[in-house]
Amino acid sequence: MTVELRTQRLCWQAAAAHIVRDVSLYVAPGEFVGLLGPNGSGKSTLLRMIYRVLRPASGQVSVEGRDVWQSGARDNARAMAVLAQENGSEFEMRVRDVVLMGRTPHQSPFARDSEQDLHLVDQALRRMNAQALAERLFSTLSGGEKQRVLMARALAQQAPLLVLDEPTNHLDVRHQFELLNLIRGLGLTTLAALHELPLAAHYCDRLYLLKEGALVARGTPAQVLTPDTIAEVYGVRALVQPSPRTGKPLIEFLPDELL
């Protein structure tokens, strides 16, 4: 099953500051959409309203037409798996039990973990190449290992929608590719905040670009990742040309020519 995600005119403010302004976006069933923007542009705040941690000042979030803020936490957890930025590094739990938390929305209260739950946990750990960590204490893992385990927890949840806040954070280059290949291969509806423009260009079907809380560009990677837009939003000069191999935008940053 795949689902669609829609936000309509989402706003959030802190004191008098408008942190997210009027953001309407759409992720089609099975689409992998990237959310880009500089530090502090509002990506995490927007995602937190989508995954129902931060109540919007105004606007709506709906999954398959159902308003997430009108639905229960359990229904939402079945529909949406989340990789948040605050990564729960305080967990004093075995890795296997952290991943098992992903099964909670499917379990009835006080029920024991089923064979199916344990099987899905093993499968998710294998997919994230983290089986060897299963018996370790989560708090003792490296940053990248934690990230892979939390991604395994999101996979074990078997939700049709993934909302990911910087999923490649802490990952080395090979693990970044493995994770993004995996996400693309799952074919789930996915919205991911990303910092690495070259990765977004290669992996995402479409992109939304935030600046100071508002959307300033949307479209395919080739439409969004132009030298002018990168200069305007990030203050960095870049050369962009289609890859001879994939046709997707190849970005060469010019780090000595900051604007």
Ligand X SMILES: Nc1ncnc2c1ncn2[C@@H]1O[C@H](COP(=O)(O)OP(=O)(O)OP(=O)(O)O)[C@@H](O)[C@H]1O
Q: What are phi and psi of 227, to 5 degrees?
A: -55, -40
Which residues in the 14-33 window bind ligand X by CB under 6 A?
14, 19
Dihedral sign, CA of 45, 51, 55, 60? positive
- Closest CB to ligand X among residues 95, 192: 192
- Closest CB to ligand X among residues 39, 108: 39
Q: Which residue has the tokens 């960095």?
A: 236
What is the per-residue binding string for ligand X in 36-75, x denoting contact by CB under 6 A? Answer: -x-xxxxxxx------------------------------
Closest separation between CB of residue 140 and ligand X, Å? 25
How many residues make up the chain in this entry?
A: 259
Closest separation between CB of residue 45 and ligand X, Å? 3
Give the residue from 123, 113, 207, 114 showing the smallest Cα distance to 158: 123
Question: Total residues at the site for ligand X (CB under 6 A)?
Answer: 10
**Residue 189 lies near ligand X (rule: CB under 6 A):** no
Closest separation between CB of residue 209 and ligand X, Å? 11
Closest separation between CB of residue 15 and ligand X, Å? 7
- Closest CB to ligand X among residues 46, 155: 46
Report the relative pairing of strands 249-258 and 236-242 from DSSP bridges. Answer: antiparallel
For residue 255, with 0-12 CB atoms within 10 Å meaning exposed, 13-18 middle and 19 or more buried, which class applies? exposed
Q: What is the DSSP letter of 113?
A: P
Which residues would be at the binding site for ligand X (CB under 6 A)? 14, 19, 37, 39-45
